[in-house]
Structure 1
Amino acid sequence: MRFFSKKQLLLVCSLAFLLIVISACGNDSNDTSSENSDETKGSEVTIEGKKGEVTIPADVERIIAPYHEDALLALGVTPVAKWSIGKSVQDYLEPQLKDVPRIEWNLPQEQVLEHNPDLLVLGSDLASYEGSYEDYQKIAPTYVMPEDVSNNWRKQIEVFGKMLGKEDKADEVLAAYEEKVAKAKEKLSNSIGDESIAMIWVAGDQFYLLEKDRHSAEVVYSELGINVPPFVESLGKSKVAWNPISMEKLSELKADHVFLLALEGEQGLETLEKSAVWQSIPAAEKDQVYVMNDPSFWTNKGLIASQKTIDALVDTLVK
């Protein structure tokens, strides 16, 4: 049998003690790493929707929210698919969404499955979708907006912020928007005073005068405080369907400024140019008719749409 000398025994004990310390430090490091990972990982959120409570998974990444992409993008979130009707999309969002694949507006289930979403966000009108709420729930957690959220882009941003752990971001972008409105309101007041504005969407050879609460008109009249022409006031509140207006009726439009929302080459623009009736309205006589070649944000609601409307007004009217 071999015996260790005192010197050798001391060396062995020292090495054993060192290994124990190293092992303990390694475990502490792993524990700390695990704790840090848990701290940075998001947590589930339960939120009340039109169809009851929905639990939103932590750190969702693949979101489909057709026609509500404006609110997602405002929070810095890109959806996995974007709303479309055939090849038609929300053009004003294309700078951010040009590489995102389209999904049909009524959400066919096979198309939804192709994108493998981990969250679906639907508007309040479930009848407009091809599948039922139960069908979509089988694919991914599905939140259906209550009417007051579906119809209010500010509330959408707040709800999406809560869903996605971006409540601070939601507060930030909404505050920045209010500041933008205040600055633009002052500039426009100094520039055009109490003059009035009307907006007409030109599609083909049809003309649609925006009521005071429809899409961008709400920004113009309610938020920026610009005067409503009497004829627009007489239209009352907007209805779901757009109703074209005749050229004869347009002759009653006593607006100081008119914005024509029309893609380049629309037939209606040529019709107006050749119409003696149109040329006799105050805005045309003062050469204060402006053609806006991207109608998409004027005919939509959302933070980004509203920002673009404000920018277009200021760029056009503030000298």
Structure 2
Amino acid sequence: MGKKKTVLGAVLLLSTAFLLGACSNASSETQDSTSVSSSEATERILTDTLGNEVTILANPERIIASYLEDYLVALDTLPIAQWTVNDSSIQTYLQDELDGIPTIDFSLPYEEVLGYEPDLLLIGSTSTVEGGKYEEYTKIAPTYVVTNGEEVNWREQLNDIATVLGKEDQAQEVLATYDTLAEETKTELDEKVTDQSVAMLWVVNNSIFMVTDTRSSGAVLYGDLGLDKPALVEEISDAATADWNAVSLEKLAELDADTIFLVNSDTEAPLFEESIWKNLAAVQNDQVFEFDGDSSWLYNGPIANTNIIEDVKASLLSE
């Protein structure tokens, strides 16, 4: 009798252990399933400007966003490689944040991109993925073409990138900070700088380029800060096909700007010795404010535009 009780007790213990083990396994499987479901839930499917449905990882950490680094830095995100042209031109004004980050050619060669093992590609121009390149990039990583084109401004690009990164609230903070700075500066300019027309020029390879009034630094000067446009700026802008447009010396002679902001990438350019240049009103009145080619004036984005406003303040409101 005692032996039967012992056997029965052992069976009951084994049965209990089996049931507990089964429950434990079921619980573990449930937790694993929940974990997977939660992970999958954090992935998002977004539609880019070309209509491609792109599955974005929850927290992409290896991002390549050539020529969009300004937006990433503004959103406290660093890429794994940064834009360059021929491994010489970089966005110098961002180097406090991007120092030490290797460069990748602006054309995004397939092998170079592959070598960085990105988990997200942000493409800033539709032309970059033409000719079957989009399909090739998607074999490497999720590839999202950011809203772009002549009618798209930097604010729209910032919001689009912020959506991809899940940082929409931070983008609104960036915009609010910028708008406050722009409005306060505009008010100061209205009070202290009256009837002042300004032009933005870029000299490179002994050639002159003028910014379009609604693009790049032109949008900051004439849009955000409300500065006056000379007639020549309006004329060039009406026929503009790009952010920066070539201007002949003969045409430059018509420029009647009170102030010239100059990005000088060719300090030894012979054109500076031409009588046409020397006879410009802004030159004669010592109202040319010069910046080198490393400044932010040639770029777009919240950081570039903030720097431009600070440069305008230092130039026109320093007295």
Q: Shorter-chain TM-score: what band?
A: 0.7 to 0.9
Judging changes above 3 Å, is the alpha-carbon distance between structure 1 residues 202 and 108 closer, same or farther for their aligned structure 2 residues?
A: same
Residue of structure 2 equivalent to 1:110: 111
Residue of structure 2 equivalent to 1:140: 141
1:51 to partner: Cα distance: 3.6
Moved more, 306-315 or 188-197: 188-197
Residue of structure 1 equivalent to 2:188: 187
Structure 2 portions without partners, runs of 5+: 1-29
Give the residue type in structure 1 aligned to 2:288.
V
Judging changes above 3 Å, is the alpha-carbon distance between structure 1 residues 96 and 116 closer, same or farther for their aligned structure 2 residues?
A: same
Residue of structure 2 equivalent to 1:77: 77
TM-score, normalised to structure 2's length?
0.81
Residue of structure 2 equivalent to 1:240: 242
Residue of structure 1 equivalent to 2:43: 44
Contact 1:261–1:298, Cα closer than 8 Å, also in 2: yes
1:159 and 1:150 mapped to 2: Cα distance? 15
1:239 and 1:76 mapped to 2: Cα distance? 33
1:195 to partner: Cα distance: 0.6
1:223 and 1:245 mapped to 2: Cα distance? 24
Contact 2:147–2:157, Cα closer than 8 Å, also in 1: no
Judging changes above 3 Å, is the alpha-carbon distance between structure 1 residues 282 and 75 closer, same or farther for their aligned structure 2 residues?
A: same
1:307 and 1:130 mapped to 2: Cα distance? 36
Residue of structure 1 equivalent to 2:101: 100
Give the residue type in structure 1 aligned to 2:251.
K
1:191 to partner: Cα distance: 2.4
Residue of structure 1 equivalent to 2:306: 307
Contact 2:211–2:245, Cα closer than 8 Å, also in 1: no
Pairing 1:201–2:215 present:
no
Residue of structure 1 equivalent to 2:261: 259
Contact 1:262–1:295, Cα closer than 8 Å, also in 2: no
Contact 1:204–1:267, Cα closer than 8 Å, also in 2: no
Contact 2:200–2:210, Cα closer than 8 Å, also in 1: yes
Judging changes above 3 Å, is the alpha-carbon distance between structure 1 residues 271 and 236 closer, same or farther for their aligned structure 2 residues?
A: closer
Question: The residue matched to 1:209 in structure 2 has which SS?
Answer: strand
1:300 to partner: Cα distance: 1.7
2:211 and 2:125 mapped to 1: Cα distance? 24
Contact 2:69–2:82, Cα closer than 8 Å, also in 1: yes
Give the residue type in structure 1 aligned to 2:65.
A
Contact 2:201–2:209, Cα closer than 8 Å, also in 1: yes
1:276 and 1:312 mapped to 2: Cα distance? 28
Give the residue type in structure 2 aligned to 1:65.
A
CA deviation map 1:45-81 (0-9, x unaligned):
2211114221111111000111111111110000011
Moved more, 241-250 or 132-141: 241-250
Moved more, 280-289 or 123-132: 123-132
1:186 to partner: Cα distance: 1.1
Give the residue type in structure 2 aligned to 1:80.
I
Residue of structure 2 equivalent to 1:271: 271
Contact 1:117–1:140, Cα closer than 8 Å, also in 2: yes
Moved more, 219-228 or 160-169: 160-169
1:157 to partner: Cα distance: 1.8
Identity %: 37
Judging changes above 3 Å, is the alpha-carbon distance between structure 1 residues 184 and 170 closer, same or farther for their aligned structure 2 residues?
A: same
TM-score, normalised to structure 1's length?
0.81
User: Over aligned residues, Cα RMSD in angstroms?
Assistant: 2.9
1:117 to partner: Cα distance: 0.3
Residue of structure 2 equivalent to 1:230: 231
1:243 to partner: Cα distance: 4.2
Structure 1 portions without partners, runs of 5+: 1-30
CA deviation map 1:149-168 (0-9, x unaligned):
99322122212222222122
Pairing 1:170–2:171 present:
yes
Question: The residue matched to 1:107 in structure 2 has which SS?
Answer: coil
Pairing 1:289–2:291 present:
no
Residue of structure 1 equivalent to 2:154: 153
Give the residue type in structure 2 aligned to 1:48.
T
Contact 1:42–1:59, Cα closer than 8 Å, also in 2: no
1:107 and 1:152 mapped to 2: Cα distance? 23
Judging changes above 3 Å, is the alpha-carbon distance between structure 1 residues 91 and 130 closer, same or farther for their aligned structure 2 residues?
A: farther
Contact 1:196–1:229, Cα closer than 8 Å, also in 2: yes
Contact 1:107–1:131, Cα closer than 8 Å, also in 2: no
